[in-house]
Amino acid sequence: MFDKFREECGVFGIFGHPEAANLTYLGLFALQHRGQESAGIAVADGERVRVSRAMGQVAEAFDETALAKLPGHLAIGHTRYSTAGESTLENAQPFLIDCAHGQIAVAHNGNLVNAEDLRDELVRAGSIFQTSSDTEVILHLYARSRAPSVDEALVESISQIRGAYSLVLLTKNRLIAARDPHGFRPLALGRLGESWIVCSETCALDLIGATYERDVEPGEILVISDGGVRSIKPFPPQPLAHCVFEHVYFSRPDSYVFGRSVNEVRTDLGRILAREAPAPADVVVPIPDSGVCAAIGYAEASGLPMKMGLIRNHYIGRTFIQPQQSIRHFSVKVKLNPVRSILEGQRVILIDDSIVRGTTSRKIVKMVKAAGAREVHLRISCPPTVSPCFYGVDTPSRGELIASTHSIEQIRGFVEADSLAYLSLEGLRGAVGQTQGSYCTSCYTGVYPVSVPRDERAYQQLALKVVE
């Protein structure tokens, strides 16, 4: 409904707890913001792996009866928003197969850039695919491996995939976590008593009362079994490319990702933005919820008061049907309402985390002005988004990204703000600079750290030819 990059997926895994399925259900609740299209849990009891998947949010997908059918002491779970593959139940994860190495289930956060090439090879070699998801490729590679052990077969299959992956896998007696060598997506390791947990964000550990131990390292495979935790690092080190957008927008502010509090980074983005792009104004107003942390930082650094001049309705379900009648800006109004007593007669600095197509920003600026604001100065806590993502984030095509075809002044004119400014790339790098490692910033630069899928390669070659 809103003009945003769409979250990718959330993964959760637990080993060594009698209520593994119930805790996975709770963990997925905390990760719901990372995907709302489908949810699934696979559980194992030492003998057998069972899976349950359904369309919708976690609370819709599971009830007590469904959870009662998932006995076992180890489990994995997934909340999905489709970045590759259609939004259908057959594409809902975890996927479960039975092969020569035994049963294995997988849940994936990220996107493989060589999935199409691998899939073509596998199909030529006789594989029959059940889904249109890139994740299924991993299972086919595993099933075809002639390696003598489960661990070796896993290493062999994972070494063939490229791109972004934070994976959790489940066999009848093992929980396995793997993170790509660039570390695009977060993956945390935690403990609850004697149980081990892996999850996309630390907010899932908080919900179940677990403690954060460390991140699964880029390029690391963790095999958790009755024998303990075994760390395998089979890949040569690669330059780190943590997704900076996790800090800008995706992750919850109460999580720690890539070694730093998301709330702290996001507030810093606002502080730096205030120094880079001040405006003569009376009040700072966030576009909730995504602009709140940056607005707090902007207000703090500028000395202006921050007020909630827009109120968000949190109760719009996935199934909300937009009525046909022509109410102006209906799609925004159903989610946001202006507070006239805060906005009337004021010069407003409106803070948001990004502009994708520009259509929603335009409606919000109009709404704030219609509520009586004298001036609206739009400030964005990241640089202009000019390129699509191939590493697990759903983005519109390049041509639909307003900043790829319009200057900042043209965008200002389109959204009808009195002024518009974005955070600089240096400002963004400065805010995340204290975290561990280096960042992917491709959606702001168009420079990609890992080779892109073949469709994009064709596009880039065409673009090069045109430039030549």
Nearer residue to ligand SF4 within complex by CB, 190 or 388: 388
- Angle in degrees, 0-180, between the axes of helices 262-276 and 292-302, rounded to the nearest 10: 50
Q: Which is nearer to ligand SF4, 208 or 393 (CB)?
A: 393
- The yes-or-no answer on residue 9 being catalytic is yes
Q: Which is nearer to ligand SF4, 203 or 452 (CB)?
A: 452
φ, ψ dihedrals at 179, nearest 5°: -130, 140
Q: Residue 178 or 393: which CB sits closer to ligand SF4?
A: 393
Q: From the centroid of its chain, how far is CA 348?
A: 30
Phi, then psi, of 89 in degrees rounded to 5:
-60, -35
The footprint of ligand SF4 (CB under 6 A) covers: 184, 243-245, 389, 391, 393, 440-443
- Picking from 32, 41, 33, 47, the residue whose alpha carbon sits closest to that of residue 168 is 41
Q: Round to whole Å and give the CA distance between 176 and 222.
A: 6
Closest approach of ligand SF4 to the CB of residue 165, in Å: 12
CB of 184 to ligand SF4, least distance (A): 5
With respect to ligand SF4, which residue has the nearer C-beta, 172 or 429?
Answer: 429
What's at 403, amino acid-wise? A
Give the residue nearest to ligand SF4 (CB). Answer: 389
Locus of tokens 């999850």: 199
Nearest-angstrom CA–CA distance, 343 and 309: 6
Taking the CA atoms of 318, 324, 327 and 329 in sequence, report the sign of the dihedral they define: positive
Contact, 42 vs 50, CB < 8 A?
Answer: yes
Query: What distance in Å separates the CA atoms of residue 119 and residue 173, rounded to the nearest whole number?
Result: 29
The CB-of-334 to ligand SF4 minimum distance in angstroms stands at 27
For residues 168 and 97, what is the distance between their CA atoms, to the nearest angstrom?
A: 14
How far is the first Cα of the chain from the last one, in angstroms, to the nearest whole number?
40
Which of 110, 291 has the CB closer to ligand SF4?
Answer: 110
Q: Any idea what DSSP says for residue 91?
A: G
Least distance in angstroms from the C-beta of 441 to ligand SF4:
6
Of 9, 243, 293, 382, the active-site residue reads 9
Shortest separation between residue 394's beta carbon and ligand SF4, angstroms? 10
For the bound state, the minimum distance from the C-beta of residue 388 to ligand SF4, rounded and expressed in Å, comes to: 8
Q: Mark out the alpha helices in 184-291 (DSSP H runs).
A: 203-207, 244-245, 262-276
Catalytic residues: 9
